[in-house]
Amino acid sequence: MINKINALLKEVENLKAANAEELEALRIKYLSKKGEISLLMNDFRNIAADQKREVGQHLNKLKEATQNKINELKANFENVQTADDDIDLTRTAYPIELGTRHPLSLVKKEICDIFGRLGFSIAEGPEIEDDWHVFSSLNFAEDHPARDMQDTFFIQHNPDVLLRTHTSSVQTRVMENQEPPIRIICPGRVYRNEAISYRAHCFFHQVEALYVDKNVSFADLKQALLFFAKEMFSADTKIRLRPSYFPFTEPSAEMDISCNICGGKGCPFCKGTGWVEILGCGMVDPNVLENCGIDSKVYSGYALGMGIERITNLKYQVKDLRMFSENDVRFLRQFESAN
Ligand code: DAH
Question: Which ligand 1 atom is the nearest neighbour of the CA of 208?
Answer: 12
Query: Distance (Å, rounded) from C-alpha 189 to C-alpha 66?
Result: 60
Q: Cα–Cα distances in Å, from 272 out to 41, 180, 190, 315?
A: 89, 43, 31, 18
Q: Is the CB of 303 under 6 A from ligand 1?
A: yes
Residue 243: its pLDDT value, please?
98
Give the distance between the most distant pair of CA atoms in the chain: 104
The pLDDT, as a whole number, for residue 23 is 87
Interval 242-291: pLDDT, tens: 999 999 999 999 999 999 888 889 998 899 999 999 999 999 999 999 99
Q: Quote the ligand 1 centre to 165 CA distance (angstroms).
A: 10
Measure 333 CA to ligand 1 centroid, in angstroms. 32
Q: What is the pLDDT of residue 241?
A: 98
Res 171 pLDDT > 80: yes
Residue 201 confidence (pLDDT) above 60: yes
Give 288's Cβ-side CA count (13 Å radius): 30
Is residue 107 over pLDDT 70? yes
Q: Which residues pair with 300 in a beta bridge?
A: 213
Q: Is the CB of 184 under 6 A from ligand 1?
A: no
Q: Is the CB of residue 283 below 6 angstroms from any atom belonging to ligand 1?
A: no
Looking at the DSSP bridge assignments, the partners of residue 199 are: none
Region of poorest pLDDT, from 70-84, 86-100, 157-171, 258-272: 70-84
Q: Among 123, 200, 124, 135, which residue's Cα sits nearest to residue 164?
A: 135
Give the sheet arrangement for strand 158-163, strand by strand: 128-129, 158-163, 154-155
* Residue bearing the CA closest to ligand 1, atom 4: 166
pLDDT value for 80: 58
Q: pLDDT digit string (tens) for 21-47?
A: 888 899 899 999 889 888 888 888 888
Q: What are phi and psi of 82, to 5 degrees?
A: -70, -25
- Backbone φ, ψ for residue 125 (5° rounding): -140, 175
User: Which ranges constitute the DSSP H helices of the chain?
Assistant: 2-13, 20-31, 36-44, 52-82, 103-117, 131-134, 168-177, 218-232, 286-291, 308-316, 323-326, 329-332
pLDDT at 13: 87
CA distance 164 to 169: 7
The residue nearest atom 7 of ligand 1, judged by CA position, is 280
How far, in Å, from the CA of 284 to the mean position of ligand 1? 11
Q: Measured in angstroms, how far is the CA atom of residue 95 from the centroid of ligand 1?
A: 45
Say if residue 142's pLDDT is above 70. yes
Q: Which of 51, 36, 56, 210 is nearest to 120 (CA)?
A: 210
Atom of ligand 1 nearest to the CA of 209: 12
Percent of the chain with pLDDT over 90: 61
In sequence order, what DSSP letters do the residues of 142-194 get, joined into one string? TT-GGGSTTT--EETTEEEEEE-SSTHHHHHHHHHH-PSPEEEEEEEEEE---
Residue 144 CA, ligand 1 centroid: distance in Å: 15
User: Cα separation of 84 and 94, whole Å?
Assistant: 18
Can you tell me the distance from the alpha carbon of 105 to that of 82, in angstroms, rounded to the nearest whole number? 43
Burial profile 27-47: b = 16 or more Cβ within 10 angstroms, e = fewer: beebeeeebbbeebeeebeee
* Cα-to-centroid distance, 306 and ligand 1 (Å): 7
The residue whose CA is least distant from atom 5 of ligand 1 is 305
Pocket test for ligand 1, best of 206, 207, 222, 246 (most atoms within 8 A of CB): 246
What spacing in Å lies between the alpha carbon of 307 and ligand 1's midpoint?
9
Q: How confident is the model at residue 144 (pLDDT cuts 50, 70, 90)?
A: confident
Mean pLDDT of the chain: 91
pLDDT of residue 213: 98
Q: What is the pLDDT of residue 92?
A: 76
Q: Where does the pLDDT of residue 148 fall: very low under 50, low under 70, confident under 90, or very high at 90 and above?
A: confident
Question: What's the pLDDT tens digit per position in 86-99?
Answer: 777 777 777 777 78
Ligand 1 and 249: CB distance under 6 A: yes
Tell me how far the alpha carbon of residue 212 lies from the centroid of ligand 1, in angstroms.
16
261-271: b (≥16 Cβ within 10 Å) or e: eeebeeeebbe
Distances (CA, A) of 55 to 37, 50, 52, 67: 13, 10, 5, 18
Contact 307 CB / ligand 1 (< 6 Å): no
Task: Identify the DSSP state of 147.
Answer: G
> How remote is the C-alpha of 229 from its chain's centroid?
26
User: Do 293 and 175 form a contact (C-beta atoms < 8 A)?
Assistant: yes
